[in-house]
Structure 1
Amino acid sequence: MDAAHASATAHASDAAHTIVVDLGFGDAGKGAVVDRLCQDGTVQAVVRFNGGAQAAHNVVTADGRHHTFAQFGSGTLRAVPTHLSRFMTVDPLALSAEADHLRTVGVPNPYALLTVDRAAPLATPYHAAANRLREQARGAERHGSCGMGVGEAARYALAHPGDAPTVGDCLSRTRLLRQLRLLRDRLADELGPLPAPPVEDCADVFAAFARAVTLTDGAALHALLRRGRVVFEGAQGVLLDEWHGFHPYTTWSTTTFANAETLLAEAGAPRSALRLGVVRTYTTRHGPGPLVTEDPELTPLLPEPHNGHGRWQGAFRTGHFDAVAHAYAAEVCGGVDALAVTHLDAPGRARGLRICRAYGIDGHLVERLTPGPPGDLDRQAALTARLRTARPALWDTPGRDPRRWSAAIGAALGAPVLLESSGPTRQVLRRLPAASPGGTPVKAAPPAAALQ
């Protein structure tokens, strides 16, 4: 990190930009964090840089308005524009439904606040139908997909890069019809009939979407970054990352800081953003896959007004704070500059809430999960298998004081806490200690007992 980036970590408002990433399995409170960062009126735009319509970032305003953000940025209720980058998978049908709800909560013209990169891939009803058929075929081995077709769109683009529809294709009905027919027929040949609307109907909706929003290219984002402060809003969580998550219970998306930093580097502003990791005071996940600290007794003590059982994802699960897993997430990201700690009211409601400092696996104490090289999914699957046998072995109990929890989590993850949240509308920004010039992103020191 150069001197300019080091000084940026002094305070979020002093940083050129901020990248918000969830250091868990998602649902840590990114929406509320982004909304708070947009509060002072200095943010030019929120840029979405991964995932798609399966995101669910909840924002509740002081006057009681609530919206679950999927594709629009979580600063929209503060009239902050959204840019969907080329790393975002865009679903025009879901976007229309989201825009409709935004109108009911006081955003009169949501599309006027939206720009979309023409190179962004499209998620269609055919992707969603194929996604659900694959998940149903897995039976008891379901991965916990959201059923929105985002992963299926990524899969199809890899298999047929010249035929995968993008946002820009919505401007040419002839081209779009050809692509949609190819897509539908190829998926139907593989999986059987797809329960989805006719191609012509989809093309009509997609064309209307292209007329309603402003389509751009990479140069527009570069200009936006030069005009002022931008918040990059990530989706899902690092523990679901396509390369570093616990395979196969992962997403077809890069959930680390990488995509946002690529966009900044392309704009000539590398390392100009504060890297903000978001965690709850307890660890949660939707659906199947490892959750070492899971404790069903916490569920009634920590009810979820905006998260519940999903038809495709499965149950919403709750566990104690897993310092081992969250430190792994911070490490595979290359470190974080600061943390946002949410749900600081939870220790007061669940008196037995604890921090897990180490696992017991096959008679060994494991304090650190060692990151592997990106792309080695066999290694990640083996890690997942080991985690299925892991049990919490070393605990810490900060008590009920939110300040002690904030300090303990910051120490566990090796980063200062910038933002503290105690409820849907109670987010407080703190001043960070100044970073030393020429430093590097903050990382926790690796403990000796590590799982390779």
Structure 2
Amino acid sequence: MSGEPHLVVVDLGFGDAGKGATVDWLCSPAAALGVAAVVRFNGGAQAAHNVVAEGRHHTFAQFGSGTFAGVPTVLSEHVLVEPIALAAESEQLAALGVRDPLGLLAIDGRALLTTPIHIAANRAREDARGSSRHGSCGRGIGETAWYALEHDAPTVADCRTPAVLRAKLDRLAAHYEQLIGPSAHGHEPIDALVAMYRDFAAAVRISGPDELARAARRGRLVFEGAQGVLLDEWRGFHPHTTWSTVEPRNARAMIAGLGGSARILGVTRTYMTRHGAGPLPTEAALGYPEPHNGTGPYQGAFRQGHLDPILLRYAVAVCGGIDGLVVNHLDMPGTLRVATGYETLVGLITEVAPGRWRDLDHQQRLTDQLGTARPILTPIDGDPATWLGERLGVPVVLTGHGPDRRDRIAHRGVAGVFPDASSSAVPGGRDPATGPRSTESRPAAVR
């Protein structure tokens, strides 16, 4: 087993901060970190991790964002797997030149299966909420997780035993029949689903709990999170959350089970974003271009706001601390403004205090408080990444100055992240001061 610490990448905001671009760089030759596999540790097909590299762009959903670099993906037991979308993503990657995408994939048989039945139920339930929508992606994630709490839910391993799968799908469809009804959200017949999932099981490698150990023996693992910590099922602002543990406790547990150590990398932008409903205290019409984000039929509008270190400190706290900070979108023009406090009905607030884990009453109180908060904004004095690292008390280890892989710059990090870095900045491509640098002129590889 590799002696290097494994890396865990989490989004400190509401998602869309650049986890995919970060993971792609960590897996790339420029980083030279010897990554053996990318492990997805939460979420499902609703993930949308944009990567631009080598003249290609792809929005990674279920495949790990190291795929362009040829790094295999492990979908852990904590991922909700949607085979139909996975097959479509495989075809997209093949069209982009990835050779045998499904051959790069291993899926834990214990992972829950998201089916068209879950998706239809999710959309019908969100439609019924009308103006009180929670901000769902409409991909069946919440229904998949909720159903499994009280029922014998279908899993990836069931795809290898059609009789077992058929019985579970029959019960699933019967459970949701009244909710879905004859609506436009219908789903494929059970026979068709069983046939599709049988083909899926034959096309992918369904693995057991020893898969991570096998991957770790080959080298370092990168654990790729989905969504953002501020959407965490227990730590986000209820009820505008995801049915997924986004903060890194599950990744830490898997790494501990390997007998390894972890370094947690928190990712943020130079401004805040979120999709759809829920608190965004610093919301403003910033007008920054978002070529890969827009209004979704269930998520709602894509929103922007000024940088909010108050919420980012909260995210760091509920993660149990982080070891390195990744700051993206440093190419945005103009003077950045940040929240130094909120004016609220109970007075000035400069910190958001975490409650007990799984205390949704506390999270609802935070939602109510943030929903009426008015930010006190001030311009950033100096480099935004340095400023933010100082305010969060975390070293900046990687910065993004554009959408492409070559726009990443690695910085001297904590021991075990980039331990051989001997200068304050080790470019992996574009230097914001001097422009693009070729790999031939790059200093010794960061390991």
| TM-score normalised over the length of structure 2 | 0.89
Matches of 1:363 and 1:53, distance apart in 2: 40
SS in 2 for 1:326: helix
Matches of 1:363 and 1:156, distance apart in 2: 39
Deviation at 1:191, TM superposition (A): 4.4
User: Deviation above 4 Å: which 4+ runs of structure 1?
Assistant: none
- For 1:341, the equivalent position in structure 2 comes to 327
Matches of 2:349 and 2:103, distance apart in 1: 51
Is 1:182 equivalent to 2:171 in the alignment?
yes
Give the letter aligned to residue 411 of structure 2: R
Give the letter aligned to residue 361 of structure 2: D
> Can you give the 5+ residue segments of structure 2 that lack an aligned partner in the other structure?
417-447
Give the letter aligned to residue 83 of structure 1: V
**Percent of aligned positions with the same letter in both sequences?**
52
SS in 2 for 1:138: helix
Superposed CA deviations along residues 193-247 of structure 1, whole A, max 9, x for unmatched, are 4511101111111111111111111112122123211100000000000001000
Aligned residue among 342, 355, 367 for 1:372? 355
1:119–1:167 contact (8 Å) kept in structure 2: yes
2:124–2:179 contact (8 Å) kept in structure 1: no
Give the letter aligned to residue 417 of structure 1: V
Superposed CA deviations along residues 372-421 of structure 1, whole A, max 9, x for unmatched, are 1111112211110111110112x33225x6xx101111012110000000
Map 1:39-438 → 2, pairs under 5 A: 39-40=28-29, 42-63=34-55, 65-160=56-151, 163-193=152-182, 195-269=186-260, 272-296=261-285, 298-299=286-287, 302-346=288-332, 349=333, 351-362=334-345, 364-393=347-376, 395-398=377-380, 404-425=383-404, 426-432=407-413, 434=415
SS in 2 for 1:277: strand
SS in 2 for 1:292: coil
1:15–1:274 contact (8 Å) kept in structure 2: no
SS in 2 for 1:328: helix
Q: 1:14–1:392: structure 2 CA closer, same or farther, 3 Å change rule?
A: farther
Deviation at 1:434, TM superposition (A): 4.7
Deviation at 1:14, TM superposition (A): 8.7
2:263–2:323 contact (8 Å) kept in structure 1: yes
RMSD over equivalenced CA pairs, Å? 1.5
- For 1:450, the equivalent position in structure 2 comes to none
- For 2:431, the equivalent position in structure 1 comes to none
Superposed CA deviations along residues 78-117 of structure 1, whole A, max 9, x for unmatched, are 1100000000000000101100100111112100000000
2:323–2:414 contact (8 Å) kept in structure 1: no
Matches of 2:193 and 2:392, distance apart in 1: 46
- For 1:25, the equivalent position in structure 2 comes to 14
Matches of 2:95 and 2:214, distance apart in 1: 32
Matches of 1:345 and 1:258, distance apart in 2: 32
Matches of 1:389 and 1:242, distance apart in 2: 22
Give the letter aligned to residue 130 of structure 1: A
Matches of 1:257 and 1:423, distance apart in 2: 27
1:118–1:168 contact (8 Å) kept in structure 2: yes
Superposed CA deviations along residues 123-171 of structure 1, whole A, max 9, x for unmatched, are 00000000000100100000110000011100000021xx200000000
Instruction: Figure out how many residues of one structure are paired with residues of the other and give that number.
Output: 408
Matches of 1:309 and 1:209, distance apart in 2: 31
Give the letter aligned to residue 304 of structure 1: E
Matches of 1:310 and 1:352, distance apart in 2: 29
| TM-score normalised over the length of structure 1 | 0.88
Matches of 1:369 and 1:206, distance apart in 2: 45
- For 1:447, the equivalent position in structure 2 comes to none
Question: Which region of structure 1 is more displaced relative to structure 2, 351-360 or 112-121?
Answer: 351-360
1:16–1:228 contact (8 Å) kept in structure 2: no
Matches of 2:335 and 2:394, distance apart in 1: 25
- For 2:434, the equivalent position in structure 1 comes to none
